[in-house]
Amino acid sequence: MNFENLLYEVSDGIATVTVNRPKALNALNAATLKELINCFAAIRDDEAVKVVILTGGGEKAFVAGADIAEMQSLDAVEASRFARLGHELAAAVEELPKPVIAAVNGYALGGGCELALCCDIRLAAENAQFGQPEVNLGVIPGFGGTQRLARLIGKGLASELIMTGDMIDAAEAHRIGLVNKVFPAADLMTAARKMAGKIASKGLVAVGFAKAALRDGLEMDLARACNLEADLFGLCFATADQKEGMQAFLEKRPAKFVGK
Ligand code: CO8
CA dihedral 32, 153, 224, 217 (to 10 degrees): 30
Cβ(101)–Cβ(82) under 8 Å? no
CA of 125 to the centre of ligand 1 (A): 19
Q: How far apart are CA 23 and CA 35, in angstroms?
A: 18
Categorize the per-residue pLDDT at 1 as very low, low, confident or very high, splitting at 50, 70 and 90: confident
Ligand 1: which of 25, 60, 113, 140 to mutate, judged by most atoms within 8 Å of the beta carbon? 25
* Whether ipTM exceeds 0.90: yes
Average pLDDT, stretch 45-72?
97
Q: Is 114 a catalytic residue?
A: yes
Cβ-count burial 26-45 (b if 16+ within 10 Å, e if not):
bbbbbebbebbbebbeebee
**Euclidean distance between CA atoms 145 and 147, whole angstroms:** 5
* 68/58 Cα distance (integer angstroms): 19
pTM of the predicted protein model: 0.97
Cβ of 118 closer than 6 Å to ligand 1, yes or no, is no
Query: What's the whole-number mean pLDDT along residues 132-150?
Result: 98
Pocket test for ligand 1, best of 19, 68, 72, 74 (most atoms within 8 A of CB): 68
List pLDDT tens digits, range 185-224.
999 999 999 999 999 999 999 999 999 999 999 999 999 9
Q: Which domains does the chain have, with CATH numbers?
A: 6-200 (3.90.226.10), 204-250 (1.10.12.10)
